Amino acid sequence: MKLHNKILLGLVLGAACGVGAHFLAKDAGWLAWFNNNVANPVGQVFLRMLLMVVVPLVFASITLGVAGLGDLRRVGRVGARTISYFFLSTALSAALGLTLVNLVKPGAGMDPETRQELYAAYQSDAAGLQARAEVGFGIRTFVNIVPRNPVEAAANMDMLGVIFFALMCGAALTLIPEQRARPMIQVLESLGDIVIKIIDFAMKLAPYGVFGLIFYTTSRFGWDVLRQLGLYVVVVVLGLFIHATVGLSALVSIFGRLNPLVFWRKARASVITAFSTSSSNATLPTNIAVAEQELRIPSQIAGFVLPLGATMNMNGTSLYEGVTVLFLAQVFGVDLNLGQQLIVVLLSVLMAIGAAGVPGGSLPLIMIVLATVGVPPESIAIILGVDRILDMCRTTLNVSGDLTAAVYVARVEAGWKPEMAVAGEGTPPPLRSAAS
């Protein structure tokens, strides 16, 4: 059985077993023991093995990607195309979410007793998020992109700081004599090869790790909470589904000239990994491997676009943030006019860029948007019970959007043709490192 089929099997079995365990024995001691000592530890080991290589992978990939592009003017052009695409796809996603939430109005009919019950159940969790939100998002975020200490940025998983340092290193390599730059390039290529081998080790654990992560989530998931927030969940998932099947499919067809069916077939390993880990950062190694080996995108493009996307291109997060803000405004009877909703769209796009690519990374930033439009920030407690399952869904869209950006940039900047992806079907992908 192929690896992606094993991972899919682990996902399906984990979800089925977790739902069954919750239904039959949600309060049983053995279930808590199994979650705390088997399912969650196995899932966390898999997740941490992927996160462990993110910093060296991002540094090596972006540095070599910039160095491989050569001319700094071309680097600037590729960067401008990449970021413009990110903004376009993210804005479309946020606008779609706001359109759906205005049509369905999922928060307008919530019973006040239900609202109070949900608020009381998750009030302490919301208080913790409030403390994290106080650091906020603003002009300091853009200043902090430039790290005082790149080692500290790496240790703190400050990916914007790591990316900026890698961009500077790659640019510098293009400006020094080739004989002086070559030893450093060889070191980074070797680092990329090492990272790929570590990822191979991690992916052998993937079916079991995915099973553990999904079982842990579904066995603890409160179906009572889902029922109470059912319409809100439906709006978010429907919006994500529409943007994936219509929005991203249209973008990859128009800008990448690639058949969407081929794209989604090639991207399935990334989709499964993103759904199970709820982390764009943890999915980045898989995403680069899929881009290079399945879609045949040149390594310098994949290594440049995808790490940027894991930090900046948050299609699913922007849609989720917009829907959540308007849903909570409806719950609390706060009427937002068109101008205020446009502000929500803009803030959702900007906040999505600032969101950490880890599970729950967007929640503190949603509280800032809520406060900006006059909705109580602590009201986010109402949706925390279903956030984990929605996090899994929106991360899938985030990661898929990154791949569509890589397809577009590769076509216009690297001579990539859709036939290259189609031609590889049915044949083993070449073994290439993310940095070669």
Question: Is 434 domain-assigned?
Answer: no
Q: How far apart are CA 27 and CA 220, in angstroms?
A: 9
CATH code at position 175? 1.10.3860.10
| DSSP, residue by residue, 360-401 | TTTHHHHHHHHHHTT--GGGGGGGHHHHHHHHHHHHHHHHHH
Instruction: Going residue by residue through the chain, which has 436 residues, state the pLDDT in tens, using 9 for 90 and above.
Output: 677 778 888 888 888 888 888 888 877 888 889 988 988 898 888 878 888 888 888 888 888 888 877 667 777 888 889 889 998 998 899 889 989 999 988 887 777 777 676 667 656 655 555 544 444 455 666 677 788 999 998 888 777 788 889 889 988 988 888 889 889 989 998 998 888 888 888 878 888 988 888 888 778 765 655 666 788 889 999 999 999 999 999 999 999 999 999 999 999 989 988 888 888 888 888 899 899 989 999 988 988 899 888 878 888 888 988 898 888 888 877 888 888 888 888 877 776 665 555 555 667 778 778 877 878 787 787 787 777 788 888 899 999 999 999 999 999 987 888 888 776 544 333 333 333 3
Please report the DSSP string for 171-219 in residue order: HHHHHS-HHHHHHHHHHHHHHHHHHHHHHHHHHHHHHHHHHHHHHHHHH
- For residue 430, is it within any domain? no
Confirm whether 429 is domain-assigned.
no
Between the alpha carbon of residue 141 and those of residues 85, 146, 311, 313, the distances in Å are 21, 9, 13, 16
Phi, then psi, of 4 in degrees rounded to 5: -65, -30
- Residues 210, 319: Cα–Cα separation, whole Å: 25
Task: Indicate whether 238 belongs to any domain.
Answer: yes
The parent domain of residue 348 ranges over 3-423
Residue 433 forms part of a structural domain = no
Handedness of CA 303, 306, 308, 311 (dihedral sign): negative
Residue 367 lies inside a defined structural domain of this protein: yes
Q: Quick count: other Cβ atoms within 10 Å of Cβ 265?
A: 12
Residues in the chain: 436
Residue 247 DSSP one-character state: I
Task: Tally DSSP H helices, then E strands, for the chain.
Answer: 23, 0
Return d(Cα 242, Cα 61) in angstroms, integer.
32
Task: Give the chain's domain count.
Answer: 1
Q: How far apart are CA 300 and CA 302, in angstroms?
A: 6
428 lies in some domain: no
Q: Give the predicted TM-score (pTM) of the model.
A: 0.76
Task: Report which of 224, 277, 236, 275 is spatially closest to residue 366, judged by C-alpha positions.
Answer: 236
